[in-house]
Amino acid sequence: MPSAYPIPQELKVAFDHALSAFDNWSYGAPAPVVTIDRDAYTIETISDFVMNFRDSAPKATYDHVVELAKAFRSGRQASTDEFADPKDYTYQEIGQCLFKLCSARRDYFRQAVHSGI
């Protein structure tokens, strides 16, 4: 069921930028930020914003999150946590998936610094 208020277009665009920022976030680089109306937000914050909306995301957006999760599960950053694909195409589900991926990547980078990886 769609949200009572539809997700704003600028938030859809910001979420797509957050996906790209996550994809390009490399070890040693500061956590990326995405801007909305000249204000900078972390990827987790953008993800948290979109989790308030049950609107369906475009297939390309869903597919991008699924590819990021798949790459994460098969990479060095994979942990004991299960990173399942989103259950559906809603911004709520795909936002939650990106939030978890971002948190896990941040934890991995933090552990790598402490262990000298």
pLDDT digits (tens, 9 = 90+) for 51-106: 999 999 999 999 999 999 998 888 766 655 566 789 999 999 999 999 999 988 88
pLDDT for 112 equals 74
Q: Is residue 70 one of the residues assigned to a domain? A: yes
* pLDDT for 117: 54
Residue 4 lies in a domain: no
Instruction: Please indicate, yes or no, if residue 57 is contained in any of the structural domains.
Output: yes
Report percent pLDDT > 70 for the chain: 89
Q: What residues make up the domain containing 86? A: 9-115
Binning pLDDT at 50, 70 and 90, where does residue 4 land?
confident
Report yes or no on 24 lying in a domain: yes
Residue holding tokens 């049950």?
54
**In-domain check, residue 102:** yes
pLDDT at 82: 61
- Domain total of the chain: 1
